[in-house]
Structure 1
Amino acid sequence: MAQAERGEAVVDSPVDWVADHVRRYVATDGADGGTFHGYDALLVTTRGRRSGQLRRTALIYGRDDDRVVLVASNGGSATHPAWYLNLVADPEVKIQIGAERFRGRARTASTQERPRLWELMTNVFPTYAKYQRDTDREIPVVVVERA
């Protein structure tokens, strides 16, 4: 489902339950959807690497000082999630945490910083460790800094 964002349509996740979560989050500024099964959730909007459309999804997140940290787990599948591939192609993202909205620049955590950030995120959401065991790919950790 698309919604206008400064004149440009935003396409929500093609996964029905995620799209429903996103719609509730947007409609209530995160009052409904700001947590997901007890874990803090945000909305990230990326630009589709092939379509050029703005694409929005809900994700569990952590904080590292003033940076937002995300995990491209895709539920432990063998492939990276589309939102991650999109931000690799275009690192300019929009973040919504509750009623707060800001622009950010996303990047994959460096080899040096990944272990510490991975530990941070497995403390935030322990299931990430299971997802890593379920796949042969190294699950990327993403750092978003305010633009």
Structure 2
Amino acid sequence: MTAGEQVLDSPEGWVADHIQRYVATDGADGHEWRPGVFTLLLTTRGRRSGTLRRTALIYGRDGDSYLIVASQGGDPKHPAWYLNLLAEPEVLVQVGAERFTARARTATAAEKPRMWTTMVSIWPPYDDYQAKTDRDIPVVVLDRV
């Protein structure tokens, strides 16, 4: 990922608006999305297009790592951003005003229960999303490079 590359924001209108406010204010407007619920911006490289794509996601922490959930509201298919990071795990992350490169990986079977509990404590609907799909919703670990 190189400086100056064009980044396409989520096509979902309210998410795109959230991203624009977040970027314009270095996270002052958008980092805390709802009371006690914080978001980061994740930029992945499109697995087919090669284009940089950015979305906003709720996050938690596990030590120095950031956690995100590939829930897509319980949809039967994984979100595109998750498929992108499987193909190219080097991602860009913005948390508030801080921007950094990270390596993304799916939590292991041993890690996931603890990490899932962390994320459900932040956003309880994740349990509802899992209940409505047969897909095992991944928890993604982002480690600063």
For this structure pair, what is the TM-score category when the shorter chain's length is used for normalisation? over 0.9
Q: Deviations over 1:7-47 (max 9, x none)?
A: 20000001111111000000001111112222100100000
Query: Quick one: distance in 2 between partners of 1:69 and 1:35?
Result: 16
Give the letter for the 2:10 counterpart. S
Query: Quick one: distance in 1 between partners of 2:81 and 2:34?
Result: 21
Aligned to 2:108, the other structure's residue is in SS state coil
Give the letter for the 2:30 counterpart. G
Query: Quick one: distance in 1 between partners of 2:71 and 2:139?
Result: 9
Residue in structure 2 matched with residue 134 of structure 1 by the alignment? 132
Give the letter for the 2:33 counterpart. F
Specify every segment of 5 or more residues in structure 1 that has no aligned partner in the other structure, as ranges: none
60, 63, 70: which one aligns with 2:61: 63
Query: Quick one: distance in 2 between partners of 1:11 and 1:25?
Result: 15
Residue in structure 2 matched with residue 20 of structure 1 by the alignment? 17
Query: Quick one: distance in 1 between partners of 2:14 and 2:123?
Result: 19
User: What is the root-mean-square deviation in Å for CA atoms of aligned residues?
Assistant: 0.9
Query: Number of matched residues?
Result: 143
Give the letter for the 1:10 counterpart. V
TM-score of the superposition, structure 1-length normalised? 0.95
TM-score of the superposition, structure 2-length normalised? 0.96
Post-superposition, which runs of at least 4 consecutive aligned residues in structure 1 deviate over 2 A?
Answer: none
Residue in structure 2 matched with residue 45 of structure 1 by the alignment? 43
Residue in structure 2 matched with residue 120 of structure 1 by the alignment? 118
Is 1:145 the counterpart of 2:135? The answer is no
Give the letter for the 1:42 counterpart. L
Query: Quick one: distance in 2 between partners of 1:74 and 1:37?
Result: 18
Give the letter for the 1:6 counterpart. A
Residue in structure 2 matched with residue 104 of structure 1 by the alignment? 102
Give the letter for the 1:11 counterpart. L
Note the C-alpha offset of 1:124.
1.2
